[in-house]
Amino acid sequence: MDRKAGAVLPLFSLRTRRDWGIGQITDLPACAAWLRGAGQRLLQILPPHELSAGETSPYGALTAFGLDPIYADVEAIPDLDAGAIAEALGEGQKTLAEVRALPAVQYAAVRELKARALHAAFERFEAREWTRETPRGKRLAAFVASEKAWLDDLALYDVLRGSHGGWGWPTWPEGEKERAPLAIDDLRARAGRRLREVAYVQWVLHEQWHEARARLREQGVELMGDLPFVVGAESADVWSHASQFQLALSLGAPPDAYSADGQEWGLPPYNWLAMEADDLAWVRARTRHAAALYDRFRLDHVVGYFRQWVKNPSTGSRGRFDPEGTDAQGARGRRVLGALLDELAGEPGVAPPRALAEDLGVIPPFVRDVLRELGMPGYKVLPWEKDDDGRFRDPRAFPEGSIVSWSTHDTAPIVSWWDELSEHDRRQLAARAGVDVHADERTRTLALLRDLYGSGSGLALTLVQELLGLRDRINTPATVGAHNWTFRLPRPIEDLAADGAVAARLAEVRGLVEGAGR
């Protein structure tokens, strides 16, 4: 990988003066331009796929393909004007002003506002262009045809779930649950308009996405995404491909020093044998879709492609690896990741999107051997990079084919994580960074960033909080509450860009980046 610095900021955390209380797809270019001032040439976001009402974690999506309507820029939709938006919102205009000003994302309120406006946009489009040979009508028809493999299932699932009060597909009548042809045909006959609305909204979202990505390319900024290992049982994908998941089992993690019984995540493990029957078509399709959205993407829980830790909740079983044995596990990972990489091969002379391996935690040596064989870069999170004697490893010796960071979206930024480290660890890291262990927070953080950017790793990632000197977390694992997945920038990007103190800090960061040859 070429030497590059990048910043991590969830799409929901972006903030502009015209947003609706959450980041919008069209905010990505403005964010990228602002981060260029800090020398950042890559922007990583978290999964942007559609969540159910009440869900906030981007890893709990209803679909592996459909984008979340909550990220639509309503005011950029040609089918709406200010008057139509005001009419659609009604008294909701007061709520809009409130959520824009709040320091944290209010998902339920924002989702309701966006849903009203998007429905109004569809109604106007339906009346004017759906059946006409207009340029936009043709573009929508082309989108529906090209994305049919996932879009049709998502639309059917969305309409059925809505017709059952949001209850999951295992509770539906047998014909709908099992996708019986008669039941599906009946749905198409009675709910055609609503099915078209789901397709329209996804088309709007994907058009905005591809336009935003094109502008990022013009700015010289890569867009990096994040692929969750698997989808939830309550999703359009599992409903439409039920035989390819082990629905009686639950995915998790094996016992370790932090959990004597291991972890149970409530997610359905893959049925790899069933997936092999169609040459891993779903995995390949998801990879192609990710390649259309991102320049690079992170494969969450990459060890899961080699071995899944599964339990049977109904029997209270202790858990086991699927498959068992390192030879079988190595072969499984090589097969699945090889198929994934096949889909990223691209055309001669064209740099393909790159898949990066989230290989944190307990990773067997053979997994890293296969990742090196396949040329998939892994992660180095500096506070965890220790030898058995307690000494930190020298980041300057890290391989070029790796990603280095001080933190992740599941940890505190190093600004505040520093306080949780032992005095011994702080002294080691401060000495390596060339700063007094008792230096003020600003001086220390910039020294730690200099240490990060000087590593041998090709890609150096920082949370945007670290660039700004913020202590806010994005997520605290094993906890539930409004403190997770609701972080927003403290002020709109336009205001941050106009703030002399912020601009000066980002200029210092840019100097560190450039000084490290990034």
- For helices 441-453 and 500-515, give the axis angle rounded to 10 degrees: 30
Cα-based angle 461, 462, 464 (whole degrees, multiple of 5): 135
- The rounded Cα 247 to chain-centroid distance in angstroms is 24
Per-residue pLDDT at 129: 73
Contacts of 97 (CB under 8 A, 6+ apart): none
- What is the rounded distance in angstroms from the CA atom of residue 380 to the CA atom of residue 311? 30
- What is the rounded distance in angstroms from the CA atom of residue 338 to the CA atom of residue 344? 10
Q: Taken in order 438, 405, 300, 334, is the CA torsion positive or negative?
A: negative
Length of the chain: 518
Per-residue pLDDT at 353: 66
Give CA separation, 35 vs 8, 149, 496, 504, in Å: 10, 36, 11, 13
Instruction: Pick the closest to residue 356 from 342, 343, 371 (CA basis).
Output: 371
Per-residue pLDDT at 33: 97
Per-residue pLDDT at 128: 85
Domain coordinates of the chain in residue numbers?
241-319+336-363
Instruction: Pick the closest to residue 459 from 400, 392, 383 (CA basis).
Output: 400
Give CA separation, 92 vs 13, 20, 156, in Å: 22, 11, 29
pLDDT tens string for the chain (518 positions)? Answer: 789 999 999 999 999 999 999 999 999 999 999 999 999 999 999 999 999 988 999 999 999 999 999 999 999 999 999 999 999 999 999 999 999 999 999 999 999 999 999 999 999 999 987 666 888 999 999 999 999 999 999 999 999 999 999 999 999 999 999 999 999 999 999 999 999 999 999 999 999 999 999 999 999 999 999 999 999 999 999 999 999 999 999 999 998 877 778 888 999 999 999 999 999 999 999 999 999 999 999 999 999 999 999 999 988 878 999 999 999 999 999 999 999 999 998 766 666 669 999 999 889 999 999 999 999 999 999 999 999 999 999 999 999 999 999 999 999 999 999 999 999 999 999 999 999 999 999 999 999 999 999 999 999 999 999 999 999 999 999 899 999 999 999 999 999 999 999 999 999 999 999 999 99
pTM: 0.96
